[in-house]
Amino acid sequence: MNREREVRHKSEDIEDVVLLDVVQAIRRRVRVVNRDFDIPYIAGYSKDGRTVFIDRHLPRSFRWLMRMVRVEPFLLTHEVVEKALLDELRLHYLHAHQIALRAERDAVEDGVELGLAVADQNHLSEDPSFNRGWSGKD
């Protein structure tokens, strides 16, 4: 994997498109996303960090302002950032979780705003798991 080619937008400033490049790079590094189990707190990761688990009942997307927004890229961002901070920097869980929450929040805001997290509605209608589980009416 060529890291230089992953950097599509270059800036030393805080830029939305740069953060979204990060989200895409993180997704490429997750080997397995498993949606077969009931996962407390919606998502988690394996001890070795190679697998991210997402609760089987969590919808793959949601409708917001007439758009379908995919959930997975943002959960992966949170879980990978948190795991890296715990393992590599040996931060306390609460500190790693706070940083991961903020990275996830900013990725959601930027991704939805720029439309890069918008799901292909035709693809969703063909996905049998899309309408399974949580109805979003809670």
Q: How many domains does the chain have?
A: 1
Q: Which two tokens stand for residue 126?
A: 């063909």
- Token look-up 């270059």 returns 10
In a domain, residue 4? The reply is no
Burial code (b: 16+ CB inside 10 Å, e: under 16) for 80-108 equals bbbbbbbeeeebeeeebbebbeebbebbb
Over residues 73-107, the pLDDT tens digits come to: 999 999 999 999 999 999 999 999 999 999 999 98
Q: Is residue 25 part of a domain?
A: yes
133 DSSP 8-state letter: S
The pTM (predicted TM-score) of the whole model is 0.77
Taking the C-alpha atoms of residue 64 and residue 34, their distance in angstroms, rounded to an integer, is: 25
Range of the domain at 121: 16-29+58-126
Residue 35 lies in a domain: no
**Residue 42 included in any domain:** no
In a domain, 1, yes or no: no
